[in-house]
Chains A and B, each alone.
Chain A
């Protein structure tokens, strides 16, 4: 029997060896040890495979698609002309933007739902999407030409979050208040958008309406850069916070007594989530419900406690690419905003969730 040296004094009972833990652990020396959940790994692998298949379908389907056999060579060294146009202009940026924004929204949703301890928590609930729409409306139609529309959406989203921050009186440390204030801010933003739309001409109104329901049409490499950078910077931050976030799930007192620094953790998590959602929104306009559904589905599949950050991100990317693939191949043409599709599917799912929560008696 071996006794670890750092045990409490005289805790004879604690030298007794329990049954061997069945949990596989990834170890390297003493500095790295990560527990691995088999089921989560399997689910992750399946989602990654699904994403790969969706990627291939997006690039190869349809009359403009690059044939599968030519794809590897075309990616490494695209022949100028049609193939290059399809990969570099028509579908490539659109695909990568869809993956990155899907991942960003999935992770943002996972963070929000865990930090609010509410399955319906998402950046949309606190008025981020509505704020972005208002920003786009303001800088797209009311005072056009001052800054680009995506930058306008960014300003709108940040302004809405600023209002929420001020409105709670406690910054981002009280999610319950954030939801209440967010509902108010949303309503204001929606009213503002309506106001702008009534003053706009037919043509402009249609363009704006498309943008504010979220679209991947005509994505540029600049959109890839925005969304890609957002994911590359903020998802690692989310992962660093995730263990503290797991503690917050157990109630503030316990989390604090374990050294989880609840108030700070909560504020940081909300900041990261807002950053992710804002990055996504400024690349594509607000796309409804992905942030809400992706973590939900991921959690159901993995059956694991905690926020499930990586799986939610993967799930978000899968949902988004699938939705965009449907839009691209739909008979209504590529200009159909993808946000309409996610809103339709997500709305049905939200209804299902509400009924379920209602039956459980938590709503």
Chain B
């Protein structure tokens, strides 16, 4: 039984139903990557796993107990989530922002323990934003800001970490840096779930790949098993060829040249 597991979820916003009877066990100790077209419900699933969206039916369980039976701070000590578009408060420094990730570990009187301080500094170093620690978040570039947010999620020190498109806004080098960071956290024993849009990056870094389409998980397994040309064509509507990544020998998706493009 997985530590974090969802069974029979109906997810949606007011009247709009995004997913019906969705079940998903987060594989322990794996780096799971979720891929799927826009609006298929990836973020919605992550929100339900992190208890920020209440399922209309079904349950999410942590250690076999329904998530809703825990105190919210106790869940937050174990499951962290970085949403797709978090909002940076006005005039906050990077260090203060990262410090907010410590909320579940703090109390009314114990607002800044030595453990808080160490976790924040370690997260700043791990994401390479230590030099920016005293800058205002509003003055950072998109990529620097994204790394500050990841640092905040790291400072939370949860065994499970859910990242919704952590590589958006980043240049190609920083994208790989964040992915390497994910891989390292995974090696160090954390369970990660990340939503990614780049299929080749997903294939390289995922130890477990989940493919979603219209609120349904259509395939899951190792990237080698899952990522086939018919699947990509079916899910994304993109005709492609799958070749061997010369570096990692994971599948690599090469879209077919569109006939119209040649005609132009």
Do A and B actually bind? yes
Please report A residues at the B interface, Cβ cutoff 8 Å.
4, 6-19, 21-23, 25, 30-35, 117, 240, 243, 246-247, 249-254, 256-261, 299, 303-306
Cβ-closest chain A residue relative to B90: A305
Give the residue of A23, A254, A299, A304 whose beta carbon is less than 8 angstroms from that of B86: A254
Most A-side CB within 10 Å, residue of B72, B100, B111, B126 = B100
Least CB distance from A7 to B in Å reads 7
User: Is B92 part of the binding interface, using a Cβ–Cβ cutoff of 8 Å?
Assistant: yes
Return the CB mask of B37-79 against A: 1 if under 8 Å, else 0. 0000000000100111000000000000000000111111101
Give the residue of B51, B82, B110, B130 whose beta carbon is less than 8 angstroms from that of A256: B51
Docked Cα-Cα span, A8 to B189, in Å, equals 8
**A33 pairs with B51, CB closer than 8 A:** no
Indicate whether A250 sits within 8 Å of B111 (C-beta atoms), given known contacts A14-B126, A243-B103, A243-B106.
no
Interface of chain B residues 158 through 203 with chain A (CB within 8 A): 158-159, 184-185, 188-190
Least CB distance from A15 to B in Å reads 8
- Chain B residues closer than 8 Å to A15, beta-carbon distance: 122
Interface of chain B residues 96 through 120 with chain A (CB within 8 A): 96, 99-101, 103-104, 106, 108-120
- Chain A residues closer than 8 Å to B134, beta-carbon distance: 22
Docked Cα-Cα span, A21 to B94, in Å, equals 12
Cβ-closest chain B residue relative to A240: B108
User: Is B146 part of the binding interface, using a Cβ–Cβ cutoff of 8 Å?
Assistant: no
- Chain A residues closer than 8 Å to B72, beta-carbon distance: 256, 259-261
User: Is B89 part of the binding interface, using a Cβ–Cβ cutoff of 8 Å?
Assistant: yes
Give the residue of B75, B89, B114, B124 whose beta carbon is less than 8 angstroms from that of A18: B124
**B81 pairs with A253, CB closer than 8 A:** yes
Cβ-closest chain A residue relative to B72: A259
Known contacts A33-B112, A260-B103; 13 further A-B pairs (Cβ under 8 A): A4-B114, A8-B158, A8-B188, A10-B189, A16-B122, A17-B121, A18-B125, A23-B117, A34-B109, A250-B87, A254-B87, A259-B103, A305-B91
Cβ-closest chain B residue relative to A251: B87
Docked Cα-Cα span, A35 to B159, in Å, equals 27
Docked Cα-Cα span, A33 to B109, in Å, equals 6
Least CB distance from A278 to B in Å reads 26
Cβ-closest chain A residue relative to B133: A19
User: Is B32 part of the binding interface, using a Cβ–Cβ cutoff of 8 Å?
Assistant: no
Please report B residues at the A interface, Cβ cutoff 8 Å.
47, 50-52, 71-77, 79-83, 85-93, 95-96, 99-101, 103-104, 106, 108-122, 124-126, 130, 133-134, 156-159, 184-185, 188-190
Docked Cα-Cα span, A21 to B121, in Å, equals 8
Docked Cα-Cα span, A250 to B103, in Å, equals 13
Least CB distance from B43 to A in Å reads 9
- Chain A residues closer than 8 Å to B71, beta-carbon distance: 259
**A257 pairs with B51, CB closer than 8 A:** yes
- Chain B residues closer than 8 Å to A25, beta-carbon distance: 112, 117
- Chain A residues closer than 8 Å to B189, beta-carbon distance: 8-11
26 A-B pairs (CB sep. < 8 Å): A4-B114, A6-B115, A8-B189, A9-B188, A12-B188, A13-B126, A18-B118, A18-B120, A19-B133, A21-B121, A23-B112, A31-B109, A33-B111, A33-B116, A243-B106, A250-B88, A250-B100, A254-B87, A256-B72, A258-B100, A258-B101, A259-B77, A260-B103, A305-B89, A305-B90, A306-B89
**A258 pairs with B103, CB closer than 8 A:** yes
**B120 pairs with A246, CB closer than 8 A:** no
**A33 pairs with B110, CB closer than 8 A:** yes
Docked Cα-Cα span, A7 to B113, in Å, equals 14
Give the residue of A8, A19, A303 whose beta carbon is less than 8 angstroms from that of B157: A8
**B114 pairs with A251, CB closer than 8 A:** no
Indicate whether A251 sits within 8 Å of B75 (C-beta atoms), given known contacts A33-B110, A305-B96.
no
- Chain A residues closer than 8 Å to B103, beta-carbon distance: 243, 247, 258-260
- Chain B residues closer than 8 Å to A8, beta-carbon distance: 157-159, 188-190
**A30 pairs with B88, CB closer than 8 A:** no
Indicate whether A35 sits within 8 Å of B111 (C-beta atoms), given known contacts A246-B100, A254-B81.
yes
**B91 pairs with A304, CB closer than 8 A:** yes
Docked Cα-Cα span, A15 to B190, in Å, equals 15
Docked Cα-Cα span, A178 to B242, in Å, equals 54
- Chain B residues closer than 8 Å to A17, beta-carbon distance: 118, 121-122
Give the residue of B79, B90, B92, B106 whose beta carbon is less than 8 angstroms from that of A257: B79
Least CB distance from B87 to A in Å reads 4
Least CB distance from A88 to B in Å reads 38
- Chain B residues closer than 8 Å to A247, beta-carbon distance: 100, 103
- Chain B residues closer than 8 Å to A252, beta-carbon distance: 52
Docked Cα-Cα span, A33 to B111, in Å, equals 5
Docked Cα-Cα span, A305 to B97, in Å, equals 9
- Chain A residues closer than 8 Å to B99, beta-carbon distance: 35
Cβ-closest chain B residue relative to A22: B134
Cβ-closest chain A residue relative to B96: A305
**B120 pairs with A21, CB closer than 8 A:** yes
Indicate whether A256 sits within 8 Å of B50 (C-beta atoms), given known contacts A18-B124, A251-B86.
yes
Cβ-closest chain B residue relative to A35: B112
Docked Cα-Cα span, A14 to B120, in Å, equals 10
